[in-house]
Each structure stands twice: as C-alpha cells, then as structure tokens.
Amino acid sequence: MEQLNDIRKRIRSVTDIQQMTRAMQLISAVKMRNARTQLERAMPFFTRCAATMIDIENSETRLQDRFFTLRQKKEGETWKIAYFVMTGDQGLAGAYNLNVINTAETYIREKERENVEKGLLTETRLYVCGTIGKDRLIRTGFEVDSDFNYPIASPTYYRARDIADFVVDLFDSGKADLVYFIYTRIFSAISMHPMITRVVPVNTVALQQLVPPEEGASYRAINPDEPVEYFPDAGAVLDYLTDTYLNGMVYGILAEAFASEQTARMMAMDNATKSAKEMLDELTLRSNQARQARITSELTEIVNGANTISEGD
C-alpha cells in the first residue's frame, strides 16, 4: 500500500494547485465582466453609426465610396487578402486559442482553393494578436507579419483606432483587397464560437445584422419617410462614419475576443478546481485507509508481542 507520507505530500500539492486555479477563475471572471461592460457601453453609439451608414448607402445618391466597393479581379490576377487573427498571450484557457487558429487555417486554405478554381491567384498576409497564435501559424508555414504586435488583453479604444488606421493604410495602399478579422464571439457563459468578419470593403448585408430592428430608420427623431439632408454632403458624412465604424468594429472585436478568452479561462479553471476537489477526496480516502492500515498493523504487532511475552512466562 502507498506510504502515508507520500499521500500527504500529494494532498498538499493538489491543495496548492486548487487554490491557484480558484484564484485564476475569480480573476478571469472579473476581467470578462469588465470587457463585456465596456462593449455594452460602446455598442449603442456604433449601432447608430451603422444604421446611418445603411441609410446613406441605400439612399438615392448611391455613393460609390471606396470602402463599399468590392474590387473586381480578372482571371490570372491576384487577390491580396489580409487576415487579422485574435489569439491570446497566455495559455490555460482550454481550447480557446486552438479553435481560433484552426478556424483561420481552414478558412484561408478554403479561400485559396476557391480562387484557384476561378483561375485567380491569392496573396495571403496574416496579422496576429497574441504570441500563441503567431508562433503556431509561423510554424505551420503561413506568412505572418512579425512587426504587428498588439495584444487583445485589456482592450482600449486608442489601440483599436491604431489597428483601424493600419487596416485603412493596407486597403488604400493596395496591399490588401480584402480584410478579414478572425476572432471568438461570446454568446453565453458556455457558448463561444470563432467568427470570420470582413471589415473592408464594408459588407452592408452583414452590417444590417448589427442593427436591431428597432434601431432602423425609426431611431431618428424625425419622420422616417422624410428624406434626410446631410451636411456638408452625404459623402463627407459617410467618410466620417466609416472611420468611426472601423474604430468601433475593431474595438468590439478586441473586447469580444478578450471577454471570450477570459470566459474560456474561467471555465477551464473552474473545471480544474472541480477536478482538484475530486482528486483531494480520493487522496483523503486513500490517506484514511493507509492510516487505518498502519494503526491496524501496529495493534497487531502489539498483540503479537504481548502473546509472545505471555507464552514465554
């Protein structure tokens, strides 16, 4: 039977691990709630911006804005696609990072295969937030920009604006024809799924999904049937709202990714804490059995010794 001292050492070790996982669970829960609170406070403003952009895009003017126009490619030409992949800098978050990376790899290869079938070439460039995803994708053989260093932890609007400006530079300079963000969206405490969102050119159909039905034309404090006059003109308003939209989209994606990571880590640490408790219960039972066996052995030795003395007398 296992030695009692060895069992007690394992109990102390598991207890220390349980305290650590419990602390990490509580910390992740606080960070997750803060990230969700930040996102919920900012979303109403960006929802209004999105609704106004849809109104302008669907107006009679039909503006040909560069951010709303999908570039056309002929056979033999190259699609330049930029992917921004949101992963974390730390582990102990279950399958969070692995799911995002697998989704990115699968989608990128599928996109390249579709372009080959259409007679088009594909130039793929990855910009990865988080060291875990960056290291994995580099080992897999993808071309990852090593100078792009932005974490998803503790997202701020200023960081989102920097990334949005970087996206605009890629698009305007012709280095990217399409820009996708691959991240994890949290739907509930137990439901999270990797998402693929095209940020530019703006997908109006997808943008409408961000606007609740009650936030349509009725959000304006005027008659929704009356035409709206934009000052100085609709193009200038659209340019301003597009920049705001990009900032808001990137900020929302960072907040979603960070909240998802903390939720995944909270769940993983909760499961680890429960597993540690089950292991402690088992070790405690084995400790009691070993202690009982030792006491029984000592009593048996005492009785045998007493019998031996009696027989000698």
Query: What CATH number does residue 168 fall under?
Result: 3.40.1380.10
Domain contains 304: no
What's the average model confidence in pLDDT over 55-83? 79
Token readout for 57 is 């895009």
Residue 206 belongs to what domain range? Answer: 26-268
The partner residues of 180 in beta bridges, in order of sequence, read: 83, 198
pTM: 0.82
Q: At what angle do helices 131-140 and 96-117 cross, to 10 degrees?
A: 40
Token readout for 75 is 């056979």
90 contacts 98 by C-beta, under 8 angstroms? no
Q: What is the pLDDT of residue 213?
A: 58
pLDDT digits (tens, 9 = 90+) for 22-63: 888 898 888 888 887 887 887 777 777 777 777 777 665 556
Domain contains 289: no
Domain contains 262: yes
- Higher pLDDT among residues 167 and 204, named by residue: 167
pLDDT digits (tens, 9 = 90+) for 85-105: 999 888 888 888 999 999 999
Domain contains 54: yes
Q: What is the pLDDT of residue 215?
A: 52
Q: What is the pLDDT of residue 178?
A: 93
Domain contains 13: no
Alpha helix ranges (H) inside the chain: 4-57, 96-117, 131-140, 157-172, 204-208, 234-312
Q: Which residues does 106 contact at the CB level (< 8 Å), separation at least 6?
A: none
38 contacts 202 by C-beta, under 8 angstroms? no
Token readout for 6 is 């060895």
Domain contains 106: yes
Domain contains 277: no
Confidence of residue 197 (pLDDT cuts 50, 70, 90): confident
Q: What is the pLDDT of residue 279?
A: 87
Look at residue 164 and tell me whether its pLDDT is greater than 60: yes
What's the average model confidence in pLDDT over 206-219? 59
Q: What is the pLDDT of residue 218?
A: 46
Q: What does the alpha-carbon distance between residue 81 and residue 170 come to, in Å, rounded to a whole number?
A: 10
Q: What does the alpha-carbon distance between residue 141 and residue 277 come to, in Å, rounded to a whole number?
A: 42
Domain contains 202: yes
The tally of domains found in the chain comes to 1
